[in-house]
Every structure is written in C-alpha cells, then in structure tokens.
C-alpha cells in the first residue's frame, strides 16, 4: 500500500491584513485568496516573509506595532511593501513623522487635491469624490504626516499638506502612508473613489515585483 501523494499547499496571500479586533476595522473578503486576515496580537510569532504587503488599518494597536517595529523594518528591508492608513502616534514606521491635525475653519479646508500627474493609484478618481461622502467633507483626511526626505506626495490638503505619500528611501522596501480612512475600504464606492482599491492593489503587486527584481540583482 502506497501513501497518497501530498496535497500541494496553497500559495501565500499577497496581502496580510492585520485585524486589531475593532468593529470598524477593515475586514478581508473571505472569498479573496489574495488577502489573509491575521489577528494583530498573533503578529509577534507570525512569519511575515511569504507575503508581499503588510496592511495596517487606522484602528491597529500602535503600542504593539511599536514593540514589533524592528520586525516590520526587517520585512521592508527584504524588499516588501507596507500600507498604513490612519494617524501615526508611535514611531513604528521607518522615516515617518507623527500625525499633525489640520486646523479647520471652513469645510473647504478638507478639500483633497491630486498631485499631477495623477499617480496610478488615483488615476481617474475625482477629488470631490474623495473630499465628500454623502455631501459631508472630512471623512477622507483631517490632517497629515510630514514627508520623509525624497518621499513622493500623491494627494494634498489645501495648504499643501500631504495626505498620502510613498517612501522608497527610508528602507529597502516601499512604504505607503495615508492620513485618513483605510484606502482599501474604497472598493465599494459608487463614485470614482471606488477605483482606489483595485488600482492600489494592482500597483502594490507591480511595485513588489520591481522590488523583487532589484533584490535579486543585488
């Protein structure tokens, strides 16, 4: 009697989404094979290496992330991608500064501008569709994180404050910081902001492929 052939293991999900247990946190689609949901408190013992991108939403426990900052930096230095949406108040992201709230005197102070030429993540997305949600402004972003050296701003507030930036220089990987609601949560929007999720995930995969090629060439 011979043993049955081993069943090949499924490939690791490209995206690892940390779940902090908050009701309002972003949840992975259970039918999506490209995203794995991990309890944030399992992070200290979890092997990050199979994944392309670590995704952290606004409700994550930043005290825990601060304790795990060396592992996160090591992940990035292996040529990986970090996507953080929210307000940074602990220094766990390499090169990043703490969140600075915007002083608001008028609802127009929340207006979102797209840096030209539009980055592929925001291509075809109208600024007003990000600024307003059911006619109310302020949901998309209420402040900014100062840019690290040589970082690329993608979206700004009226004073030029960067809402979203890409940092390719603080580590050997790529860091995307967005000072507002979870960028991956915009996939179900009926207006042009619904383009963000798909375009962001596609761009991250392309960026991860570029990083892998560069790492292999070293």
Provide the pLDDT for residue 23.
46
Region 116-128: what's the mean pLDDT? Answer: 97
Region 150-163: what's the mean pLDDT? Answer: 97
pLDDT (tens digit per residue) in 137-148: 878 999 999 999
pLDDT (tens digit per residue) in 69-96: 999 999 999 999 999 999 999 999 999 9
113: domain CATH number? 3.40.50.880
Region 169-196: what's the mean pLDDT? Answer: 94
- Please count the structural domains in the chain: 1
Does the model's pTM come out above 0.85?
Answer: yes
CA 19/CA 1 separation, integer angstroms: 45
Please indicate, yes or no, if residue 59 is contained in any of the structural domains.
yes
Note whether 76 and 173 are within 8 A (CB). yes
pLDDT (tens digit per residue) in 26-67: 555 544 679 999 999 999 999 999 999 999 999 999 999 999
3 — pLDDT class (breaks 50, 70, 90)? low
Burial call 13-49: b when 16+ CB within 10 Å, e when fewer: bbbbbbbbeeeebbebeeeeeebbbbebeebeebebe
Provide the pLDDT for residue 32.
64
Please indicate, yes or no, if residue 4 is contained in any of the structural domains.
no
Please indicate, yes or no, if residue 36 is contained in any of the structural domains.
yes
Residue 120 domain boundaries: 15-217
Please indicate, yes or no, if residue 7 is contained in any of the structural domains.
no
Please indicate, yes or no, if residue 5 is contained in any of the structural domains.
no
């Amino acid at each position: 009697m011979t043993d049955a052939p081993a069943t090949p293991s499924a490939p690791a999900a490209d995206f690892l989404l940390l779940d902090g247990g908050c009701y309002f946190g972003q949840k992975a689609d259970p039918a999506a094979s490209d995203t794995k949901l991990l309890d944030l408190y399992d992070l200290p013992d979890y092997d990050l290496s199979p994944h392309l991108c670590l995704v952290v939403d606004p409700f994550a426990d930043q005290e825990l992330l601060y304790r795990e900052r060396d592992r996160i930096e090591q992940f990035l230095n292996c040529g990986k991608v970090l996507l953080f949406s929210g307000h940074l108040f602990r220094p766990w992201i390499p090169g990043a500064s703490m969140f600075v709230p915007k002083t608001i005197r008028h609802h127009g102070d929340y207006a979102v501008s797209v840096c030209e030429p539009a980055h592929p993540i925001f291509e075809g997305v109208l600024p007003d569709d990000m600024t307003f949600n059911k006619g109310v402004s302020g949901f998309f972003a209420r402040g900014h994180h100062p840019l690290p050296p040589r970082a690329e701003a993608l979206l700004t507030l009226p004073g030029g404050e960067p809402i979203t930036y890409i940092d390719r220089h603080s580590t050997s990987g790529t860091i995307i910081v967005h000072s507002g609601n979870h960028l991956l949560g915009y996939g179900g929007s009926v207006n042009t902001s619904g383009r963000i999720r798909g375009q962001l995930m596609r761009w991250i995969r392309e960026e991860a492929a570029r990083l892998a090629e560069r790492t292999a060439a070293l």
